[in-house]
């Protein structure tokens, strides 16, 4: 009888605690949340990914052939666009956690993205909105580059898409994950794998069907289909409105973070007490003197346990004793939970930074590798040619089968060895992906050297486009580990009220990776052009460029970055309040000792 009451209590807690329905009423057990609610969000994930991938992955072709931008500028336009998409995810995460909530943020910016697709398809359809047709590959012709109103329309359309997609992405992940309890590590891990599977399906359809339509029926039809897919995705989102579990918002998430830094700087001359009991809002007294505190209580507590890193920030919790016994301002005295929340945000920054090079490699696969494939033999049969952008579908064809195998075969096997619900930890998963990514650029460099050598020796003799398939395959495997591991890591390490923003940091890594790609292209051209023969990437013709050397440079940077990640992943310290394992109360004072128990247990 008691066990039955406990089950009912847990079910009630999983639905009601801190979550509301679309009318801001408390959630009801069995009605809100779970995989049934998440399916509507996964539908939007697949369709939105399909829409934007069809635009982003073939955008360089449109910019080069229709807008008449030079090749290096076209590559930078694409990388800047993709970088902006992911940078704006921080805005989406902030608005969601602070004011609007994930569901309302997704609706608002979903329609912004849809308007961008519609404007882009209109420009691609109407000749008067584009420069006159011209062959950019012909040295005899000098094409007019899009400028003035035509250029403005293009950039407005593209950045409406960027604004909508950027603010949408972190909330798709966080709203879906919010349908499950954070302590249900197994269900959460399964959801993140399902979300990546939906992502792969969207990418696969975009890179096969939609890119083929763009190539054979025109970019206007392709962009129009992207708009239609986005509209259907928004309908999917609306279908689950009454089933979602939504986090309530409590104002700006940056205010308590700013208060900690202001208070710590104000009290910088104070000496941290040796006893945690003297710090404001410390939970150590409760934890240390009541050893019967359950794991569930730790998970559902709004307070974080103390960790030893960044002790300077602990000064924000020091109480100033005076005779008047006046209460100190929140900008001078913070709780231990506030301080630990800031420690988590600061601690994840090095992990985030280590994935930037990984996404710089991704930028090459969406720009130079597509252009690389366009001057190779694209014939599959006498009457059928493969669109170069469709090569990016190769890893997703593989991943559609590999992701379910990872969930159903690898995770259960790893679980028996490690004892973890998710098989391997998110940080371990990211590390495996970063190591594999290096070999994608090694393969790309070798193939490009072979292609260029043959093209210079005998121009009519071009190698098959399938030679560049390995670089996409290798990166696809690395992305399955890195991308999913990073999202899972950020979500599980976030505290209540910051899930969307910390998840957005995952996408911000994509942004910095693409911006770094643009910077590297410009720097490499500037440095290597001093010989008087032009830079490695300064010509519109890849046969005159040295793309292979650029790929070798990225391979070297990726290899160095992997060892940098090993250092920071070992340095990172989990807060025992938010780990997805059983943490004993005795581990409250030091999260490193708690994690040692977890690793060995």
**Structural domains of the chain, ranges and CATH numbers in brackets:** 21-249 (1.20.1250.20), 252-281+308-334 (no CATH), 346-577 (1.20.1250.20)
Q: From the DSSP assignment, how many helices (H) and strands (E) are in the chain? A: 23, 0
pLDDT at 14 over 90: no
pLDDT at 324 over 80: no
pLDDT category of residue 579 using cuts at 50, 70 and 90: low
Instruction: List Cβ neighbours of 291 (8 Å cut-off, separation of 6 or more).
Output: 585, 586
Task: Name the residue with higher pLDDT: 146 or 157.
Answer: 157
| Radius of gyration, CA atoms only, the chain | 26
The answer to whether residues 545 and 538 touch, using CB atoms and an 8 Å cutoff, is yes
Residue with tokens 């909508």: 164
Give the pLDDT confidence score for residue 587 in this predicted structure: 35
Task: Name the residue with higher pLDDT: 228 or 301.
Answer: 228
Quote the CA–CA distance of 485 and 475 in Å, as a whole number: 15
DSSP state letters, 17-77: TT-B-TTSPBP-TTTS-SHHHHHHHHHHHHHHHHHHHHHHTTHHHHHHHTS---HHHHHHH
pLDDT in tens, 64-85: 888 888 777 787 788 788 778 8
Backbone angles phi, psi at 20, to 5 degrees: -130, 165
Backbone angles phi, psi at 550, to 5 degrees: -65, -40
pLDDT at 563 over 90: yes
pLDDT category of residue 598 using cuts at 50, 70 and 90: very low
Winning range, highest mean pLDDT, from 145-149, 352-356, 373-377: 352-356
- From 18-22, 96-100, 163-167, 353-357, the region with the lowest mean pLDDT: 18-22
For the entire predicted model, the pTM comes to: 0.72
Q: What is the average per-residue pLDDT within 448-452?
A: 86
Residue with tokens 């710590």: 264
CA 318 to chain centre: 37
Give the pLDDT confidence score for residue 15 in this predicted structure: 44
pLDDT category of residue 47 using cuts at 50, 70 and 90: very high
pLDDT at 258 over 50: yes
pLDDT category of residue 214 using cuts at 50, 70 and 90: confident
DSSP state letters, 552-567: HHHHHHHHHHHHHHHH
Backbone angles phi, psi at 279, to 5 degrees: -90, 140
Instruction: List Cβ neighbours of 42 (8 Å cut-off, separation of 6 or more).
Output: 176, 194, 195, 198
CA 500 to chain centre: 11
pLDDT at 591 over 50: no
CA dihedral over 320, 323, 328, 332, signed as positive or negative: negative
Write out the two tokens for 489: 């890591």
Q: What is the average per-residue pLDDT within 93-117?
A: 92
pLDDT at 558 over 90: yes
pLDDT category of residue 162 using cuts at 50, 70 and 90: very high
pLDDT category of residue 435 using cuts at 50, 70 and 90: very high
Quote the CA–CA distance of 503 and 508 in Å, as a whole number: 9
Give the pLDDT confidence score for residue 113 in this predicted structure: 95
**Mean pLDDT of the residues in the chain:** 79
Give the pLDDT confidence score for residue 33 in this predicted structure: 80
pLDDT in tens, 506-553: 778 877 887 888 888 888 888 887 656 667 877 767 777 788 888 999
pLDDT category of residue 321 using cuts at 50, 70 and 90: low
Task: Name the residue with higher pLDDT: 419 or 433.
Answer: 433
Quote the CA–CA distance of 455 and 467 in Å, as a whole number: 14
Q: What is the average per-residue pLDDT within 395-401?
A: 82
Give the pLDDT confidence score for residue 51 in this predicted structure: 92
The answer to whether residues 157 and 130 touch, using CB atoms and an 8 Å cutoff, is no
Quote the CA–CA distance of 341 and 306 in Å, as a whole number: 10
Give the pLDDT confidence score for residue 118 in this predicted structure: 94
Strands (E) located in 312-449: none
Give the pLDDT confidence score for residue 13 in this predicted structure: 44
Q: What b/e string do you get for 325-353 counting C-beta neighbours within 10 Å, with b at 16 or more?
A: eeebeeebbbbbbbbbbbbbbebbeebbe
- From 123-127, 324-328, 418-422, the region with the lowest mean pLDDT: 324-328
Residue with tokens 């929140």: 330
């Amino acid at each position: 009888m008691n066990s039955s009451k406990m089950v009912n209590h847990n079910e009630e807690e999983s639905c009601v605690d801190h979550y509301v329905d679309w009318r801001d009423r408390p959630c009801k057990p069995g009605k809100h949340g779970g995989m049934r609610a998440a399916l509507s969000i996964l539908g939007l994930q697949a369709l939105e990914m399909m829409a934007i991938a069809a635009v982003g992955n073939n955008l360089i072709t449109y910019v080069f052939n229709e807008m008449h931008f030079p090749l290096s500028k076209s590559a930078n336009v694409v990388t800047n666009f993709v970088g902006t998409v992911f940078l704006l995810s921080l805005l989406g995460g902030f608005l969601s956690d602070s004011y609007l909530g994930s569901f309302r943020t997704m609706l608002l910016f979903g329609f912004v993205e849809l308007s961008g697709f519609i404007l882009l398809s209109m420009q691609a359809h109407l000749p008067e909105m584009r420069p006159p047709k011209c062959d950019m590959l012909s040295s005899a012709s000098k094409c007019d580059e899009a400028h003035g109103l035509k250029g403005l329309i293009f950039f407005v359309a593209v950045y409406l898409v960027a604004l909508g997609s950027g603010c949408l992405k972190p909330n798709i992940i966080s709203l879906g994950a919010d349908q499950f309890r954070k302590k249900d590590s197994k269900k959460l891990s399964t959801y993140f794998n399902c979300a990546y599977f939906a992502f792969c399906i969207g990418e696969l359809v975009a890179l096969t069907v939609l890119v083929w339509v763009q190539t054979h029926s025109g970019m206007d039809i392709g962009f129009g289909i992207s708009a239609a897919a986005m509209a259907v995705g928004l309908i999917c989102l609306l279908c689950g409105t009454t089933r979602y579990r939504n986090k309530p918002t409590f104002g700006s998430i940056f205010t308590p973070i700013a208060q900690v830094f202001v208070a710590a700087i104000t009290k910088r001359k104070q000496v941290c007490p040796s006893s945690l009991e003297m710090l404001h809002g410390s939970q150590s007294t409760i934890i240390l003197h009541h050893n019967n505190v359950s794991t569930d209580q730790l998970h559902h507590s709004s307070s974080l346990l103390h960790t030893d890193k960044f002790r300077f920030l602990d000064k924000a919790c020091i109480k100033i004793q005076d005779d008047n016994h006046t209460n100190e301002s929140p900008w001078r005295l913070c709780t231990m939970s506030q301080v630990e929340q800031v420690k988590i945000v600061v601690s994840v920054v090095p992990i985030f930074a280590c994935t930037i090079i990984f996404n710089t490699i991704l930028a090459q696969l969406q720009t130079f590798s597509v252009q690389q494939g366009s001057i190779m033999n694209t014939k599959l049969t006498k009457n059928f040619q493969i669109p170069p952008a469709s090569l990016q579908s190769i890893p997703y064809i593989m991943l559609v089968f590999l992701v379910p195998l990872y969930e159903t075969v690898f995770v259960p096997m790893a679980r028996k060895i490690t004892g973890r619900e998710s098989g391997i930890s998110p940080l371990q998963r990211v590390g495996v992906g970063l190591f594999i990514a290096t070999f994608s650029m090694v393969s790309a460099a070798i193939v490009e050297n072979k292609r260029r050598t043959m093209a210079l020796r005998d121009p009519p003799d071009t190698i098959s486009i399938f030679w560049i398939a390995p670089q996409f395959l290798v990166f696809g495997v690395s992305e399955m580990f890195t991308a999913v591991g990073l999202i899972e890591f950020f979500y599980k390490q976030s505290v209540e009220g910051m899930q969307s923003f910390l998840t957005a940091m995952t996408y911000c890594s994509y942004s910095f990776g693409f911006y770094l790609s643009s910077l590297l292209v410009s720097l490499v051209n500037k440095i290597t052009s001093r010989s008087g023969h032009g830079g490695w990437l300064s010509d519109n013709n890849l046969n005159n460029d040295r793309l292979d050397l650029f790929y070798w440079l990225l391979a070297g940077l990726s290899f160095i970055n992997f060892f940098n990640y090993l250092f920071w992943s070992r340095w990172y310290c989990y807060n025992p309040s938010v780990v997805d394992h059983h943490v004993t109360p005795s581990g409250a004072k030091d999260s490193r000792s708690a994690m040692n128990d977890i690793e060995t247990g």
